[in-house]
Amino acid sequence: MDKTESIGRSSIEGCMNIDLMRSLVKQYSELGQWTSALFWADAAAAAAGGGLDSASGDDVWLLASAMLARGELHRAAHAVTSRGLHRRHLLCLGVAMRAFLAAREPATALNLMDECDPMLLEPRNTDQTHNRALAGVLVWQARALTALERREAAAEALAAALRADCAHYEALDLLLEQHALTPHQESELIESLPINSQLSAAEGALLRAAYRQRLHRYSPAPIALPPPDTDCPITAEAEAVGGRMMEAAQSRARRLAAACRWTDALRALDTVDPWCCVEVRAACLVELKRSSELFAFAHSLVDAYPHAWTSWYAVGCYYYLIGKSELARRYLSKAKSLEPSAGCVWLAYGHSFAADNEHDQAMAAYFKASQLMSGCHLPPLYVGVECALLNNFTMCERFLTRAAQLHSNAKVKAVEEGEGGAGDKAVWSRVVAGARSPHVAHEAGAAAYGAGDYHAARTLFTLALEAATPPDKQEVSPRWAATLDALGHAYRALGRPREALVWHGRALALRPARPATLCAMGLCHALLGRERDAAALLHAALAHDPDDVVALALLDAIVDRLDAQLTEEEIPQFPFPAVNISPPAAPVTPPADATNTSDMSMSFD
């Protein structure tokens, strides 16, 4: 890397080859031999100047880097600050900030930056090296600001870093991880980057494609990779190379996971290596309910990387999966303490509360998550769900609208108080207009159903089903059978039980012999007046779940009408059999002899 202020000095003494020493430092740094690097940097610094004051910025920079790599944080910072080099030398500033950040003193790092010469912090159009160093500094600034919970400033710093150096992937990574910008803002940012001016065409194409891939993490992933665009050789090669990158596999995995195709996502992650994207892998294993795999994975991570928040997050996910919410929360709070800005930890925290039916605490956790991930649609979605569970449908609608807007890349409008009709009634049209995500649409539909707005519920469920149906397949995956059932309920509530039966039938084909679905079908049949079919279905439901309340109540209600016997027919008169008062015992009646007492069979004394 070229130094902007390299001063090729010949030593005062004249025989020390400072350049050799500097090159040695570089080599040892690349080889990871930090102690040797420190030694030679020390030597170079000492040889370059007669004293501490005259050591060049570059030498001090190399010295401080070596100390930092060895973990001697305060020494590194001191090496820079004692010489005041952080004011004039961008690289030294960067090292010092890095040192203070690693030592968990973000405020000091920010102070250093404030003391720096503002001229240095301007990007220079022609000097890309300076820009890169500047971008680095801005990224450290952003990290410090995040640690101090000043997230908007951090987001701005990251945006500035990206503009200064488009190739600075870490800035984009941090931005996206934190979900600091809405999707709309994110795509604006990417489009505005002067990539072409900073990079050559091929690498620029690669970078642009990779950034776009990262951005579209919540839109449904294509089933197969699209065929490469062979028009332009540059873009073709960029796509080919980009497709082979691990980055591409990880992006694809994220998209598949967001589309609820967990097994495919895991397979994509497996093509990279077993430890990449820990949070995504843990989420997939939780959804697939593979608790033994998750157990093994999480504990191996914790053994190997006890200081990484992702390991503890995975352990927390495992305990959430097996239903031990207390333990889950304990480990998740450990992950939180390691990395306060990780939004997904707060989401998991909220899920564990929701599993225990503690809706208020869950909402609080989701609110915190939404602060941390302000551009992500998931926290407001979950807040909306919790509101619906607490029967607060107006609030639910507001949050789901926001979630829909965040998901669909629309410009997020601030939700005003007076909007949405008079007072209490939730107006679902905004959600209907904006919902593209199947999750948002389904939850909104469920809330609308609970609020009694069945038309909106039906529209929303239909939207959800469309969004969830893969383009080339006929039927949704069994995960969305609940949507089919919900459509059945909505149609029935709208007074169209015949269509409701069709939907329930589809749901039953995906999840056979489910008591709730069978009961619902029974109810539809009963509403259509077909009591016998209803009774058959209700009996099937009761065979699977003897305590099903709906089935028992419904059966009680219709059992009177199940009687097949007609009541209008005539009562049969019994035909009188031929009455023969003939002597009972004697086989032959002798000619009448009233006084013959031997015929008497009766003895009644």
Partner 1 sequence: MSLNYNNMQPLSLNSKGDIKIDINQVRIDILHGIRECTDRGLTQTTKWLAELNYSLRDHKITYEHPPSTQEDDISPEEREAYTLAKTYFDCQEYDRAAHFLENCSSSKCVFLHKYSQYMSSEKKRLDNATDLGTENTDSTQVLLDLLSYFKANRSNLDGYLLYLEGVVLKKLDLRSQAVTVLQAAVAAAPTLWSAWVELAGLANEYEALDSFQLPQHWMMYFFAAHAFVELKLSEQALEAYMVLVAAGFEKSTYVTAQMAIAHHDRRDVDSSLALFRELYQNDPYRLDNWDVYSHLLYLKEKRMELANLAQRAVSIDKYRVETCCVIGNYYSLRSEHQKAVIYFQRALSLDPQYLSAWILMGHEFIELQNSNAAIQCYRQAIDVNRNDYRAWNGLGQAYEILGLNGYCIYYYSRAAQLKPDDSRMLVSLGEAYEKMDKIPNALKCYYKAHSTGDIEGMALFKLAKLYEKSNMPNSAAAAYTAACQDPANAGSKELPAAQRYLAQYYLRFSLLDHAAHYAYKCLEHESTKEAGKNILKTISEKRSSAATSQPTNLPEDLPDAIKNASTVSLSHETPKTPLPSPNVTPDNFSTPVFARKSSKYKM
Number of residues that bind partner 1 (CB under 8 A): 52
Min dist. Cβ of residue 412 to partner 1 (A): 38
How far lies 279's CA from each of 146, 220, 310, 315, 331, in Å?
20, 19, 6, 11, 14
Min dist. Cβ of residue 502 to partner 1 (A): 14
Min dist. Cβ of residue 486 to partner 1 (A): 18
Min dist. Cβ of residue 222 to partner 1 (A): 20
Q: Are 455 and 415 in contact (CB under 8 A)?
A: no
Dihedral sign, Cα of residue 396, residue 398, residue 402, residue 404? positive
Min dist. Cβ of residue 267 to partner 1 (A): 16
Question: Is 539 an interacting residue with respect to partner 1 (CB under 8 A)?
Answer: yes
Amino acid at 584: P
Shorter beta-carbon distance to partner 1: residue 103 or 536: 536
Question: Is 8 an interacting residue with respect to partner 1 (CB under 8 A)?
Answer: no
Nearest-angstrom CA–CA distance, 494 and 455: 7
Q: How many CA atoms lie within 13 A of 402 on its CB side?
A: 22
Within 460-519, which residues bind partner 1 (CB under 8 A)?
Answer: 478, 508-515
Question: Is 580 an interacting residue with respect to partner 1 (CB under 8 A)?
Answer: yes
What does the DSSP 8-state code read for residue 227? Answer: P
Token reading at 138: 């801005």
In the set 226, 227, 471, 577, which binds partner 1 (CB under 8 A)? 577
Min dist. Cβ of residue 317 to partner 1 (A): 20
Min dist. Cβ of residue 316 to partner 1 (A): 24
Question: Is 533 an interacting residue with respect to partner 1 (CB under 8 A)?
Answer: no
Report helix, strand or coil for 107.
helix
Question: Is 224 an interacting residue with respect to partner 1 (CB under 8 A)?
Answer: no
Question: Is 223 an interacting residue with respect to partner 1 (CB under 8 A)?
Answer: no
Q: How many CA atoms lie within 13 A of 477 on its CB side?
A: 11
From the list 27-35, 240-248, 482-490, 568-576, the region that binds partner 1 by CB under 8 A is 568-576
Q: Are 426 and 397 in contact (CB under 8 A)?
A: yes
In the set 31, 355, 433, 543, which binds partner 1 (CB under 8 A)? 543
Question: Is 573 an interacting residue with respect to partner 1 (CB under 8 A)?
Answer: yes
Query: In which element (H, E) is residue 577 found?
Result: none
Shorter beta-carbon distance to partner 1: residue 403 or 551: 551
Shorter beta-carbon distance to partner 1: residue 4 or 477: 477
Token reading at 67: 């100390």
For 137-194, the DSSP string reads HHHHHHHHHHHTT-HHHHHHHHHHHHHH-TT-HHHHHHHHHHT-S-HHHHHHHHHHS-
From the list 151-159, 248-256, 401-409, 557-565, the region that binds partner 1 by CB under 8 A is 557-565
Shorter beta-carbon distance to partner 1: residue 342 or 484: 484
Q: Which residues contact 303 (CB under 8 A, 6 or more apart)?
A: none
Shorter beta-carbon distance to partner 1: residue 274 or 576: 576
The structure tokens 């080859």 sit at 17
Nearest-angstrom CA–CA distance, 570 and 464: 57
Min dist. Cβ of residue 512 to partner 1 (A): 5
In the set 30, 303, 569, 588, which binds partner 1 (CB under 8 A)? 569
Token reading at 566: 């007609």
Question: Is 587 an interacting residue with respect to partner 1 (CB under 8 A)?
Answer: no
The structure tokens 């108080």 sit at 417
Shorter beta-carbon distance to partner 1: residue 126 or 580: 580
Nearest-angstrom CA–CA distance, 233 and 262: 35
Min dist. Cβ of residue 517 to partner 1 (A): 11
Min dist. Cβ of residue 536 to partner 1 (A): 7
Question: Is 582 an interacting residue with respect to partner 1 (CB under 8 A)?
Answer: yes
Q: Are 456 and 420 in contact (CB under 8 A)?
A: no
Nearest-angstrom CA–CA distance, 361 and 404: 23
What residues make contact with partner 1 under the rule CB under 8 A?
Answer: 478, 508-515, 535-536, 539-540, 542-546, 555, 559-560, 562-565, 567, 569, 571-585, 589, 592, 594-595, 597, 599-602, 604
